[in-house]
Amino acid sequence: MLADGDRASNGDVWLRILTSEGQITKGKLHHAAFKGTIKPIHADKNRPWSSEMSGRLRSLAGSIDDIKNHATAYCARNRRNTAVLLLVDVPISR
C-alpha cells in the first residue's frame, strides 16, 4: 500500500474511466481523453511533482472485476452509458 506522497512502482499503470464516446474518434483516443481533472499540488506537500490527475493506479484498483464494477457504478451515478478504461504507463524518474 502506498502512503500519501509515495511514488508508484515502476511498471504500474494509471487508469481513468472515460465516459464519452466522443473521446474515441476513428478508433483512436482523442487527445482530450488524457486531460481528466488536473489538480495543482499544494506547496506544503513538498513533492517533486507539481500536479496530479484524476484516476487510480492499477496496483490499488483491485481485481479486473472490481475495476469493471467501479466503472459501471460510476457511469450509472453520473448518467453515462459508456465506460472505457484508459491505461497509461507510469514513468518513473529518479
Mean pLDDT by 10 residues, the chain (94 residues): 78 78 77 70 77 79 86 83 61 51
- pLDDT value at residue 94: 44
Cα(5)–Cα(48) distance, integer angstroms: 9
Extents of the domains making up the chain:
14-88
> Which of 59, 60, 86 minimizes the C-alpha distance to 71?
86
pTM flag (> 0.75):
no
